[in-house]
Amino acid sequence: MEESVVSFVLDHLAQLVAREANLLYGVEDRVQSLQYELQMIKELLSSTRSKKGMEHTVLNQIRDVSHLAEDVIDTFVAKVSIYKRRTILGRMLRGFGQLRLLHRVADKIDKIKTTLNEIRDNKDKYDAFKETKNQSAAEEEEEEKRAQSVQKLRRNVEEEDVVGFVHDSKDIIKRLLEGGSNRKAVSIVGMGGLGKTTLARKVYNSSQVKQRFMCRAWVYVSNECRAKELLIGLLKHLMPNFEQQGRGKKKGKKSAGDINELSEEELKKLVRNCLEWKRYLVVVDDLWKKQDWDEVQDAFPDNNRGSRILITSRLKEVALHATHDVPHYLQFLNEKESWELFHRKVFRGEDYPSDLESLGKQMVKSCRGLPLSIIVLAGLLANKEKSHREWSKVVGHVNWYLTQDETQVKDIVLKLSYDNLPRRLKPCFLYLGLFPEDFEIPVTPLLQKWVAEGFIQDTGSRDPDDVAEDYLYELIDRSLVQVAKVDTNASAETCRVHDLLRDLCILESKEDRVFEVCTDHNILIPTKPRRLSIHSKMDHYISSSNNDHSCVRSMFFFGSIYYVRSWDWKWLFESLKLVRVLEFGVNGSNKIPSDIGNFIHLRYLRIDIEYVMFVPDSILNLWNLQTIDLGPPRRNVPISFPAKIWKLKHLRHLNTLRAIELRGSCSGSDVKMWNVQTVSSLVINSQATSLIKKGTFPNVKRLGLRVTSESEGELPKLLQSLQQLSYLNKLVIVLRDRDDAGAEHSTDESVKRNSGFKPQELLRNLGQFNCLTILTIENAFDLLTYALTFPPNVTELTLSEINCISDEGMNGLGNHTKLKKLRLLGDVTWSGESFDLNCVEGGFSQLEVIEMEDLKVGKWKLGNGGMLRLHSVMIQNCARLDDLPNEIWSLSSLRKVQVMKPSEEMARMLRNLEIKNGVQLVTEDHQSRTDWTDFNILDCISEI
């Protein structure tokens, strides 16, 4: 961790000297000399692996001095940047203060250099923990091998086969399947790390349980459980696309995000409505308190259908309170099961030297049958050389830890695995402790935060986001991070850490001063953190905390939903002058103040902008800003953003589900924004058109464009300009909607009427985008009534607001040889005639996933040899579709069919259907439909 601190400070100083030298005017020579001192310290640290005794003291000294240097320089830069933005008169009046500031910072830098010299000159301390050059070379060689094999880690991260639990799973399944028709709860009890969740997941995914319970849902609880969060988590499982109920703005409707504003009783009603007419299984994982169960149990109806609830808990009394039945007590793995689990994880089916078995079994024995410890230890050894010499070192470490405290076996193994992480991975792993317990961490924002925090160093020519992704997969491979959800490409979409590993992250972070977590229990304990994660309501923290925030670089708010008011912003500006990462969690704002430009060091900003219409010009002062995430929308109105976006010279990601409408002049500059990866999404006006035609975003990978009445006819020309973007792989085009076009809802409405060009012209221009792999076209209307050819390498295609599909349009889709995922979304308000989907023989040769929602499809026909690779079908609210093609059920690759809100005829067919080949059928019949409109929960906009 100390090396990462020094590396970040060096990188920060180098950027200042190279790009913002004007902010260091008067002290640039001292800053450069400080760089030299820190560089020597970094070289010292690069040969340091031990962290005991005297070495520990010296490392802490280096870390503290590096932090001090960072604080001195950042404070100076913040004050100078504000000074330079003043008028000439203001500068004259403040001139004396500026000279005094120069003198003070120069004096502080000199003192820091003296301290660094004293540390470096003390040879006794250094020699105590320097390693030989041979060891460093060996470490470099190991790193090189690691880099070469990192792509192997990008394998399918679906859950692997579970070792052991044979008798346990049989017992749990038997309890779930037996008994009367009354609702019944079954519980699993065991200590942390024993495998309760793994066993429950094995049962949950068993074919017997799938066939018995057509409705299954899983919800994680935590030690800081909130009933409302638990209920929302349940609804996300019970209602597919729960947060995307409908698309496109409907007047008078709120968005899915409004679910946070519902009361607990309203949420319970939604859950009950989802479950009332079904035989369901709900897993309540990791229940901690009796009162948590009392607050939510009435959401589960006793519907006399044999429904079941499976509870896991560490506490016997909690399980007995919830189930009124004898819990299933989970035992430790025996020696045979322990070795099988370890062997599978370390060697992965490969042969191994016979002399390693005795060493391996010796270490496995020290894990005392605790699965988590075995898996983490195996993850450690899987990434080391398979030799007697290397394994003997690990045995020595295990034995040393055991002599300290033989009772804490799990802590020993977990701590050992952390200690053996490469330096580059340690801060990334510890960072995961910032998030609440059992929190599903979105992967993409996590990687962007790692980059903003400076954890991704020495990337060479590679993109930092790609390197960050490699780091995550390494942590997954070491079993320190769990994949929670995967996308259609089998890549990690969300992840989480086991709560025992999270505890380790928090403990190590507190010791190394990486971050601190503040809850209602410790809010009054004063600290001086550098990163702070608040797990209480924002206004409560602000009014109660006595923390010194002068050195805070990262601030996270993960409390319940709260709207940031003007006085909250004032507190933030006064307290967080050096902040780099600001994450508001579920907190929103109705205004972004102009003072936002004073956060001169800000690199990552995420805030929910429900009612914000305007981003002030001062945001352009944030020259360090890398990621702007303006969170989920509540309305479909563009947000105004200054056109001189190129002033954000380090910007990488502009993430917003609401369209950005650039304002003001953008003339006079041909600056390229080489770092920009994501722009979502731009209203096509004169400013956006000018920037795109100038090639302002040469390396953009993900781009969104929104057509309006003022820009009709511009899109085809703009697409010609975009053909020069060799890295563009995801494009979202939002065509004009009916309201914007001022058109009536008529059957002859067309893409041409709403967008000013023919669909053939649109697709002809898109056909030249050879790098494009993901394409979304919103407000497609009758686009699929023509024989069209889509970009040749698109693997994922989404078309929304479809009102008709012809055979020619379907044939065009079916002939697309690389298409893997197809989403066809209609318009819930459209009342036109129904149409048929005729998929020709041999069509859709690579298609794996098809989703249909709100389509007025009457019949679906599938020709022989069509969709041979299809494994997932999702149909929602297609009320005119009464049957599925018989050919679907004979597809050998088919794994899951999901039909939500079917017609009565479809529901009857599905109830009488005999499922074969292990296909999972998930359905919600017409009797159990939830009346979502009672709560105005609709609307979503596609993501970039």
CATH of the domain at 95: 1.20.5
pLDDT in the model for residue 925? 56
Structure tokens at 57: 């003291």
Owner of token pair 């790098």:
771
| Inter-helix orientation angle 388-404/355-366, to 10° | 20
- Helices 355-366 and 409-419, axial angle in degrees (round to 10): 120
What is the Cα–Cα distance from 583 to 627, expressed in whole angstroms? 11
Residue 186 inside a domain? The answer is yes
User: What integer is the mean pLDDT of 442-454?
Assistant: 93
Per DSSP, the residues of 582-630 read EEEEEEEES---GGGGG-TT--EEEEE-SS--B--GGGGG-TT--EEE-
Residues 708 and 736: their CA atoms lie apart, in Å, by 6
At residue 91 the predicted structure's pLDDT band, cuts being 50, 70 and 90, is very low
Which tokens belong to 508? 């190590």
Annotate 46-70 with b (16+ C-beta within 10 A) or e (fewer): bebbeeeeebeebbebbbebbbbbb
Question: What percentage of the chain reaches a pLDDT higher than 90?
Answer: 24
Strand duo 896-900 + 872-876: pairing: parallel
In the chain, the amino acid numbered 29 is D
User: In the chain, how long is the greatest CA-to-CA distance?
Assistant: 86
pLDDT digits (tens, 9 = 90+) for 202-225: 899 888 888 888 788 888 887 766
Cis amide prior to 373 (ω within 30 degrees): no
Four-CA torsion 230, 231, 232, 236, nearest 10 degrees: 100
Alpha-carbon distance of 293 to 318, in angstroms, equals: 9
Cα–Cα distance, 618 to 599 (Å, whole number): 10
Same domain, 432 and 348: no
| Amino acid letter for position 640 | S
Residue linked to tokens 């020290």: 366
Q: Is residue 491 domain-resident? A: yes
Q: According to the model, what pLDDT value does residue 855 have?
A: 93
Of the three residues 92, 108, 123, the one that is the final residue of a domain is 123
The DSSP-derived string for 813-839 is HHT-TT--EEEEEE-TT-----EEEEE
Q: Where are the alpha helices (DSSP H) in 348-463?
A: 355-366, 371-382, 388-404, 409-419, 426-431, 443-453
Pairing of strands 730-734, 441-442: unpaired
- Reported as a pLDDT band with limits 50, 70 and 90, residue 605 is very high
* Domain identity same for 505 and 429: yes
Q: Which pLDDT value is given to residue 151?
A: 41
Can you say how many angstroms the Cα of residue 704 is from the centroid of all Cα atoms in its chain? 20
Is there a domain that residue 398 lies in? Answer: yes
Give the model's pLDDT for residue 570.
92
At 870-902, the pLDDT tens digits run 999 999 989 899 999 988 988 889 988 989 888
Q: How far apart are CA 633 and CA 636, in angstroms?
A: 7
Please spell the DSSP secondary structure of 479-532, one letter per residue. TSSEEEEE-TTS-EEEEE--HHHHHHHHHHHHHHTS-EEE-TTTTTS----SEE
- Answer left, alpha or beta for residue 197, where phi above 0 means left and psi between -120 and 50 means alpha: alpha
Tokens 């105004």 sit on residue:
640
For residue 917, name the pLDDT band (cuts at 50, 70, 90): confident
Average pLDDT over residues 360-371: 80
Six-digit token string for 54: 């005297």
Name the nearest CA neighbour of 607 among 538, 541, 540: 538
Peptide bond into 681 cis (omega under 30): yes
Separation of alpha carbons 28 and 423, rounded Å: 30
How far apart CA 538 and CA 589 sit, in angstroms, is 12
When mean pLDDT is compared across 182-196, 744-758, 876-890, the lowest value belongs to 744-758
On the question of pLDDT at 664 being above 80, the answer is yes
Structure tokens at 581: 């990462």
The answer to whether position 3 is within a domain reads yes
Name the domain boundary from 281, 304, 329: 329
Q: What residue numbers bound the domain in which 357 lies? A: 342-406
Q: Is the pLDDT of residue 814 over 60?
A: yes
Amino acid 501 reads L
Give the pTM: 0.76
Inter-residue contact 373 to 193 (CB < 8 Å) = yes
Determine the Cα–Cα distance for residues 111 and 121; give it in Å rounded to an integer: 15
Q: What pLDDT is recorded for position 935?
A: 33
Instruction: Report the C-alpha gap between 846 and 893 in whole angstroms.
Output: 12
Distance CA 462, CA 667 (A): 32
Can you give the CATH number for the domain in which 227 is found?
3.40.50.300
223 or 859: which leads in pLDDT: 859
Mean pLDDT of 378-384: 80
Helix, strand, coil abundance in the chain, percent, nearest 5 = 45, 15, 40
Q: Are residues 201 and 295 in the same domain?
A: yes
DSSP state, 227?
Answer: H
Domain count across the chain: 5
Residue 104 counted as domain residue: yes
User: Cβ atoms within 10 A of the Cβ of 93, count?
Assistant: 11
Cα angle, residue 414 at apex, residues 408 and 418 outer, rounded to 5°: 140
CB of 827 within 8 A of CB of 248? yes
**540 has a pLDDT exceeding 80:** yes
Residues 6+ apart with CB under 8 A from 565: 539
Written as six digits, the tokens of 927 are: 């009797």
Query: Per residue in 93-143, pLDDT tens?
Result: 444 455 677 767 777 777 777 777 777 666 454 554 444 334 444 444 554
540 and 621 inside one domain = yes
pLDDT, greater one: 416 or 273: 273
Question: Residue 757: what pLDDT?
Answer: 59
Q: Does residue 503 sit in the same domain as residue 594?
A: no
- DSSP structural state of residue 131: P
Residue 78 · residue 600 · CB < 8 Å: yes
Q: Is residue 941 part of a domain?
A: no
Same domain, 555 and 482: no
How far apart, in whole angstroms, are the C-alpha atoms of residue 147 and residue 240?
Answer: 38
CB atoms within 10 A of CB 400: 11
Phi-psi region of 627 (alpha: psi -120 to 50; beta: other; left: phi over 0): beta
What span, in angstroms and rounded, lies between the C-alpha atoms of 82 and 59? 35
Q: For position 68, what pLDDT does the model report?
A: 81
> Would residue 731 count as lying in a domain?
no
Give pLDDT, residue 461.
81
Euclidean distance between CA atoms 451 and 11, whole angstroms:
12
Quick one: 522 and 510 in the same domain? no
Looking at the structure, tell me whether residues 390 and 533 fall in a common domain: no
Same domain for 544 and 485, yes or no, is no
Identify the sign of the CA torsion 32, 33, 38, 44.
Answer: positive
pLDDT band at 469 (very low <50, low <70, confident <90, very high): very high
Q: What is the mean pLDDT of the chain?
A: 79
User: Any residues with CB less than 8 A from the CB of 70 and at least 6 apart, and which?
Assistant: 5, 8, 9, 12
State both tokens at 390.
């290397």
**pLDDT score, position 432:** 94
Give the domain CATH number at 436: 1.10.10.10
Q: Which of 143-147, 160-164, 487-491 has the lowest mean pLDDT?
A: 143-147
H helical segments located in 767-873: 807-814
For tokens 């040969």, the residue is 47
Q: Which of 598, 628, 658 is the last residue of a domain?
A: 628
Domain co-membership, 7 together with 67: yes
Do 507 and 524 lie in one domain? The reply is no
Task: Tell whether 733 is covered by a domain.
Answer: no
Encode pLDDT of 280-335 as tens digits: 899 998 888 888 888 888 888 888 888 999 999 888 888 888 887 888 888 878 88
Residues 503 and 583 grouped into a single domain: no
